[in-house]
Structure 1
């Protein structure tokens, strides 16, 4: 049996098990199995590997995309530049970290924007935001990150407080990207605390959340004329990229 899986906490929102189980059935891969490994802290990660010696690959989700790095033997060059891991290739010799969020986000964003390259606000500063930031850099899209804590030594950082106090800044950043888990099932009415009244038909709102398919953030943006997109296409793209890595 070839085993694959996902580590994170919590995993009630995960799409990965259904996606890969359906893929294995559809493609006749009866020798493959995908499981969820919900671990309460990253220190429990080595025990998963011991318990599951036939694991070939893992996906990594919140909150371990950065915390898992010290447990790996090396990172792919692109992953090292991003500083976050969402895919691990497992062999007898080593554990190698990759970031397929980057590929999934960048590809889906280009598909959606076409030739447009509007300046962006990245809501959140976690592991997913790092992949998003690298993709925007490589697409020559200027951006700033929005965080509750701006004491992170970055000059391209805004606080939510500053954004609320200066809502005119929203005009300078037509592309709004939510990389936080806010709005994810079951807490579907949560969203980042930004000045909604400043969103208009010139804005593009990309919410990496995919469950529900229309988040409260997307719904509020649509009311004000903005174009919206959820994270489902990105998820499909990153999952297939992980599958290729595991089977190289």
Structure 2
């Protein structure tokens, strides 16, 4: 029976995961399919039950389900359990097992830029992606990580979990110049007409401004950071690297990430140049 995989989220139409994984299946001679599935929050449990009934071999999870999916899975790997968020599920040994590849995917993309572990890091947001990234940053050796979120309580919870520092968005705006790396993890920016997650007036020229969104390639956050003289890092690298980790878990094959980064960027009408 032909295996099939999926990505679930709300919204989901913007996702290029189907293109990426279908391409890798073809390049590596894997007889499998990959489809997008729009799942609203209220329908998550019912939709997951349907996926299992239809025999899904694995799936990716995007906003807003990365934390809500946890109690529905049979088991979590250590990383997902510690992070409290899942973005990849694999069917193995009769169980649906949750993993988190977001953080490692982001860190791989960040190390492609000239960055020092001594830099102070600000993570904007405290959702599932932010959790994965914050934990991965600490594991990679970044010791000074601050979390800013619209709901301060969630920032406090995440900061406590990763031994970081929680600050308000207002404090983050005021102290933005102290940070060498600023990471935007919220959904603000999926549409070019959306507002900025925080004011960028005090950002330090030469710092790295990263946005995990990859479509559009340049979010309002990145455009403003570039105007302020920052190095910018869009979400293409994270998207491809986290997808490659998931692909390897499903198939045992390491796909071509460099070729895919170029392909995804060209598909979005740009060039893979973060500067």
In the superposition, the TM-score normalised over structure 1's length comes to 0.90
User: Cα gap change, 1:222/1:57 in structure 2, threshold over 3 Å: closer, same or farther?
Assistant: same
- Tell me how far 1:114 sits from its aligned partner: 4.2
Aligned to 2:181: 175
Correspondence for 2:232: 228
State the SS of the aligned residue for 1:111: coil
Q: Any gaps of 5 or more consecutive residues in structure 1?
A: none
Aligned with residue 188 of structure 1, among 192, 209, 218:
192
The within-5 A match list for 1:34-53 is: 34-41=34-41, 42-53=44-55
Q: Is the 8 A contact 2:22 2:33 kept in 1?
A: yes
Asked if residue 145 in structure 1 is aligned to residue 147 in structure 2, the reply is yes
**Which of 169, 172, 192 is 1:163 aligned to?**
172
* Other-structure match for 1:108: 109
Partner of 1:210: 214
Give 1:219's aligned residue: 223
Matched, 1:16 2:22: no
The aligned residue for residue 137 of structure 2 is 136
Report if aligned partners of 1:119, 1:174 keep a CA contact under 8 Å in 2: yes
SS at match of 1:18: helix
Deviation at 1:192, TM superposition (A): 3.5
Partners of 1:122 and 1:14 lie apart in 2 by: 23
CA–CA distance in structure 2, aligned partners of residues 218 and 127 of structure 1: 21
CA–CA distance in structure 1, aligned partners of residues 28 and 94 of structure 2: 29
Give the secondary structure class of the aligned counterpart of 1:161.
helix
Alpha-carbon RMSD: 1.7
Equivalent pair of 1:200/1:221 in contact (CA under 8 Å): no
Query: 8 Å contact 1:123–1:192 — kept in the other structure?
Result: no
What is the alpha-carbon distance in structure 2 between the residues aligned to residue 229 and residue 210 of structure 1?
10
> What residue ranges of structure 2 are gaps of 5+ in the alignment?
160-164, 253-275
Q: C-alpha displacement at 1:92, in angstroms?
A: 5.8
Task: Give the alignment's TM-score, normalised by structure 2.
Answer: 0.82
Q: Is residue 188–residue 197 contact of structure 2 (8 Å, CA) maintained in 1?
A: no
**Distance of aligned partners of 1:82 and 1:113 in 2 relative to their CA distance in 1, 3 Å threshold:** farther
Q: How many residues align?
A: 241
CA distance in 1, matches of 2:95, 2:169: 41
Whole-Å Cα distance in 2 between the matches of residues 243 and 193 of structure 1? 32
Runs of 4+ in 1 over 6 A off after TM superposition: none
Q: Against the structure 1 CA distance between its residues 115 and 150, is the aligned structure 2 distance closer, same or farther, given a 3 Å change threshold? A: closer
Q: Which residue of 1 aligns with 2:81?
A: 80
Please tell me whether the aligned partners of residues 124 and 180 of structure 1 are also in contact (alpha carbons under 8 angstroms): yes
Instruction: Give 1:191 shift.
Output: 4.0
Confirm or deny: 8 A CA contact 1:5 1:58 kept in the other structure. yes
Cα gap change, 1:85 to 1:193, in 2 (>3 Å):
closer
Shift of 1:242: 0.4
